[in-house]
Structure 1
Amino acid sequence: MLWACLRFPGLAFSAAFAATPEAGPSALLDHKARQRLIAAVNADAAAHGVRRGQNLAAARALCPALEVRPRDPAAENRLLTELAAWCYQFSGHVTLVPPNAILMEVGASLRLFDGWPVLAERLREGLGEQGHAHTMAATPFAAAAWVFAASADGMVIPEREGVRRMLGDLPLAQSGLPSATVTALQAMGFRRLGEIFRLPRPELTRRIGRDGVNWLDRLRGDAADALPAWQPPANFLQKIEFDAELDGSQPLLFPLRRLTRSLANLLAARDGGVQRFTLTLEHARGETTRVVVAMAAPQRDAERLFELARTRLERTTLPAPARSIEIDAAELPTFRPPLRDLFEPIRGDGLDWPTLDERLRARLGDAALRQIALVADHRPERASRYGTPGNVVSPPRRRRPLWLLPRPVPMRPEPAAVLAGPERIESGWWDGADARRDYYIVRTAQGQQAWAYLPPGTLDGWMLHGWFA
């Protein structure tokens, strides 16, 4: 087995600033402390002297422009779950390690991704595109991978003995033991894990307790880790609330991109797609605005989902500033990529029909696009109508002309040759427009192919009804 650990040191910031991006010096407040203490700072705030554990008043004195948000554990857990959904495409066993880490068993996936270097590159590339700072490490032991991901970014040790040697040189402060235990051991003169490993087990248990010894056994692989496997949910419902009301569609694009990316991550985990989802914007006094985003076929690309939702949102007139935005996707059908020929020629930058259809409908509205749909009526003039794009109707089995005249006209001169027919059509007795005709495919003297008919049982009185291409 090979366990990979991903740590996200900026996850708390990403969760707290989900509605608007960080701008300038920013800090998070400790939600558990009685006083208003700084729990985390970004690089800009640290450059002004703001540090963790500092009183908010002191931090404001050092940096008056400091933007402060409270930590949101629920939002952090949702974001960690979103990242787990994205990681699920690389491993069948993904485990959440709150507050900011994910473990996944990648040993079974190495052959699929051509080894760890290729897999690690794909992980870093994907997380970089999503804007998540991260560190990673991989070892045969899950607990060791979690420790090394915090202290040695990029480390991969596939051999068990190699992990134990590296653990021996690890400082106690980076061992994952509780801070009180580390302080007590340092007071006894211990500095590295290797010194602790050489102690007799009864003596070690007396000093750090049974839980501490169990943790050291898990680090070295002497005890198994019972890691619950995360499973992707069957639907998607996620909401972002704003600190202040946002007026217009432009300020809503940042949280909208966050939500569509989260939806795309879940779809990747389920190997599925979405064909319809609903945007719900909440306003003051309980008012809501719902925007339905429908697609011609199931999709799961994050940029495509965002583009369609953005276009629909920009066409919607909001009655008031928004206080929150929510995406609800109740049905996640199977995603089937389009079949392509092995030797398909390289196309230009043009859009395929489903993509063009979705963009036109999003920009112009559903009623602006129409397509010809078949009707269950044998009379040619009533066998088709305009319908909603995307409805698939089986074409008629018999050959029909591409150009149907608005009404039949006498055919002069008569056909030079009959190519096919007759095809008898008798219909319409129930609505007073009874039609009894024998249709033929004929060729004119000029070589054109036409669709014409005669009254049943006669050989004259040709009526032209359509032209073949």
Structure 2
Amino acid sequence: MRWACILLPQLALDGVLRRCAEPDAPLALVAGAPQRRVLHAVNPAARALGLRRGMSLAAAQALAGSFAIIEHDPHEEARWHRFLAAWAYRFSSQVSAQYGHALIVEIEGSLGLFGPWPRFEARLREELAQLGFRHRIVAAPNPAAARALANVHDGLAVAGVEPMRHALGQLPVQRAGFAPDVATAFQRMGLRTLRQVMALPRAGLARRFPADVLRHLDALLGEHELALAWYRPPDRFAMRIELGYEVESSQALLFPLKRLTADLAAFLAGRDGGVQRFALQLEHEGGAATEVAVGLLAPERDAALLFELARARLEQAQVAAPVRALALVAEELPPFMPAHRELFDARPQQATSWEQLRERLRARLGETAVHGLSAHDDHRPEAAWRDVAAPPTRHGSARLPAQSLPPQRPGWLLARPIPLRGPTPRLLAGPERIESGWWNGDIRRDYAVAQLATGQRAWVYQPVGGDGGYWLHGWFA
């Protein structure tokens, strides 16, 4: 088997920068006790000012007074870790978030689907960059080796045992995954690389160090199978962005909204599902949140479509107070069925599918603006159709089932018949007599499919017992 380690060295900071309107401005995450606040992480702009991780907040403010400060939230960091595990789950069924700031992904079974490892790796990097997370990726024959090598390498891919042992042997003991006190003890013994540690007698290591040291060495070399806790996607999506200031315009909410819908789409792709209903929660200072419901007729997971639908509903919502935070919650995550396409689809790439057009019209014009048609048992043609709600199916549209269509009926039925002028038409099919009783109009007509002198196909009739003239009631395509 082959494993990839996706190391996320700036996970907490990247999670914060994703919701910042100006991510290039100097920013630092702070942590620690109130008596001694220290910098937990700094972005490149703050690093250019001389700020470093571990520096006290007082010293940082004395060195550079103009930089933003945000409290480091470990729970928020863990949530981003789970979110990226859900994203990675779309590429492999064996994903582990057991290591902090890292994901372990089994890739051997996915190479046949996503191509050779260089192409697969490029896709992982591209999507992580789009999500806004810095990363390092290493592939190795076992997960422990991949995790250790990711500490000092990026882009390394070793396929065999011997190349893996050689790469591991060059690791500094401080970066090989040992406990800090064990790594310090090795350094005091004059051991600088993992190769020197592996050359020591096992009996001596067992006497001087805890048993975890030998188990870790065996796991690195693949001689001891590492037990990993596998990620399983939840059946609920909830994501929240705190704005940090009061927002009164819906336009100012579009940036965080686009982030939330993109995260929802990535989550849905990871669990191979869709969403049919979700809610936007607009949080206010000291008041109940305003909830904006977004419903779809069929499960979807396209990020652009979800954003456009949510944007349309948000612009129509009545917000009573300024917004301090925006959350997106999806409780119903039904299975997703991709739209049917022919092998050689002649539809232009820029054309909009019926499903997307239908949802956009409903979002812009209202829930009841789009409806379907259904055949109705009535002899009168103008009363043989009924408006029905648009069918809630992935492949559904506003067309009638084939078995319910009456024979030889036009696609365009006029609101009321009009006298047919000009030469007598040539009848192609019919006549078909349609009658109704006195209680609903007392209609007696002989209908036929006719070709006019202009070449058009029309649906015409003659009243039974009338003057013999034709009336036009519909057009065929």
Q: Which moved more, 1:104-113 or 1:14-23?
A: 14-23
Whether contact under 8 Å (2:283, 2:324) holds in the other structure is yes
Whether contact under 8 Å (1:454, 1:462) holds in the other structure is yes
Q: What is the Cα deviation at residue 312 of structure 1?
A: 2.9
Q: Which position in structure 2 is the counterpart of 1:291?
A: 292
Q: Which position in structure 2 is the counterpart of 1:44?
A: 45
Whether contact under 8 Å (2:138, 2:150) holds in the other structure is yes
SS in 1 for 2:244: strand
Match of 2:471 among 457, 461, 464: 464
Q: What is the Cα deviation at residue 221 of structure 1?
A: 1.1
Once residues 405 and 342 of structure 1 are traced to their aligned partners in structure 2, the CA distance between those partners, rounded to angstroms, is 38
Q: Which position in structure 2 is the counterpart of 1:2?
A: 2
Deviations 1:160-199 (A, max 9, x none): 1221122122111111111121112211222111221122
Match of 1:406 among 412, 415, 422: 415
Q: Which position in structure 2 is the counterpart of 1:302?
A: 303
Deviations 1:118-156 (A, max 9, x none): 111111111122221100101111111011112111111
Match of 1:441 among 425, 433, 449: 449
SS in 1 for 2:105: strand
Question: What letter corresponds to residue 441 of structure 1 in structure 2?
Answer: V
SS in 2 for 1:136: strand
* Mapping of residues 171-186 of structure 1, within 5 Å: 171-186=172-187
2:401 is aligned with 1:394:
yes
* Mapping of residues 320-335 of structure 1, within 5 Å: 320-335=321-336
Q: Which position in structure 1 is the counterpart of 2:393?
A: none
Q: Which position in structure 2 is the counterpart of 1:384?
A: 385
Deviations 1:407-426 (A, max 9, x none): 34566789665433344445
Q: What is the Cα deviation at residue 464 of structure 1?
A: 2.0
Once residues 444 and 16 of structure 1 are traced to their aligned partners in structure 2, the CA distance between those partners, rounded to angstroms, is 69
Q: Structure 2 stretches of 5 or more lacking a match?
A: 391-396
What's the TM-score once normalised by structure 1's chain length? 0.89
Q: What is the Cα deviation at residue 261 of structure 1?
A: 1.9
* Mapping of residues 118-137 of structure 1, within 5 Å: 118-137=119-138
Q: Which position in structure 2 is the counterpart of 1:75?
A: 76
Q: What is the Cα deviation at residue 446 of structure 1?
A: 7.1
2:274 is aligned with 1:273:
yes
Question: What letter corresponds to residue 10 of structure 2 in structure 1?
Answer: G
Whether contact under 8 Å (1:16, 1:72) holds in the other structure is no
SS in 1 for 2:286: helix
Whether contact under 8 Å (1:308, 1:359) holds in the other structure is yes
Q: Which position in structure 2 is the counterpart of 1:220?
A: 221
Whether contact under 8 Å (2:375, 2:400) holds in the other structure is no
Once residues 327 and 451 of structure 1 are traced to their aligned partners in structure 2, the CA distance between those partners, rounded to angstroms, is 52
SS in 2 for 1:212: helix
SS in 2 for 1:111: helix
Q: Which position in structure 2 is the counterpart of 1:252?
A: 253
Once residues 70 and 183 of structure 1 are traced to their aligned partners in structure 2, the CA distance between those partners, rounded to angstroms, is 31
Deviations 1:270-319 (A, max 9, x none): 22222332212122333332223344543222233223323332343422
Deviations 1:223-246 (A, max 9, x none): 111112212222322233343333
Whether contact under 8 Å (1:20, 1:254) holds in the other structure is no
Q: What is the Cα deviation at residue 448 of structure 1?
A: 5.7
Whether contact under 8 Å (1:16, 1:70) holds in the other structure is no
Whether contact under 8 Å (2:361, 2:370) holds in the other structure is no
Q: What is the Cα deviation at residue 23 of structure 1?
A: 4.1
Whether contact under 8 Å (1:2, 1:106) holds in the other structure is yes
Whether contact under 8 Å (1:404, 1:465) holds in the other structure is no
Once residues 446 and 257 of structure 1 are traced to their aligned partners in structure 2, the CA distance between those partners, rounded to angstroms, is 53
Question: What letter corresponds to residue 259 of structure 2 in structure 1?
Answer: R
What's the TM-score once normalised by structure 2's chain length? 0.87
* Mapping of residues 416-435 of structure 1, within 5 Å: 418-426=427-435, 432-433=440-441, 435=443
Once residues 422 and 200 of structure 2 are traced to their aligned partners in structure 1, the CA distance between those partners, rounded to angstroms, is 111
Once residues 437 and 324 of structure 2 are traced to their aligned partners in structure 1, the CA distance between those partners, rounded to angstroms, is 58
Once residues 454 and 109 of structure 2 are traced to their aligned partners in structure 1, the CA distance between those partners, rounded to angstroms, is 70
Q: Which position in structure 1 is the counterpart of 2:234?
A: 233
2:15 is aligned with 1:15:
yes
Once residues 316 and 345 of structure 2 are traced to their aligned partners in structure 1, the CA distance between those partners, rounded to angstroms, is 37
* Mapping of residues 56-71 of structure 1, within 5 Å: 56-71=57-72
Deviations 1:377-398 (A, max 9, x none): 4222223355666555436231
Q: What is the Cα deviation at residue 364 of structure 1?
A: 4.4
SS in 2 for 1:243: strand
Whether contact under 8 Å (1:441, 1:450) holds in the other structure is yes
Q: Cα 1:14–1:415, aligned 2, differ >3 Å: closer, same or farther?
A: same
Whether contact under 8 Å (1:408, 1:463) holds in the other structure is no
Q: Which position in structure 2 is the counterpart of 1:316?
A: 317
Once residues 452 and 127 of structure 1 are traced to their aligned partners in structure 2, the CA distance between those partners, rounded to angstroms, is 63
Whether contact under 8 Å (1:249, 1:313) holds in the other structure is yes
Once residues 350 and 446 of structure 1 are traced to their aligned partners in structure 2, the CA distance between those partners, rounded to angstroms, is 32
Q: Cα 1:445–1:125, aligned 2, differ >3 Å: closer, same or farther?
A: closer
Q: Cα 1:18–1:34, aligned 2, differ >3 Å: closer, same or farther?
A: farther
Once residues 27 and 448 of structure 1 are traced to their aligned partners in structure 2, the CA distance between those partners, rounded to angstroms, is 73
Q: Cα 1:146–1:347, aligned 2, differ >3 Å: closer, same or farther?
A: same
Q: What is the Cα deviation at residue 158 of structure 1?
A: 0.8
Once residues 53 and 409 of structure 1 are traced to their aligned partners in structure 2, the CA distance between those partners, rounded to angstroms, is 85
Q: Structure 1 stretches of 5 or more lacking a match?
A: none
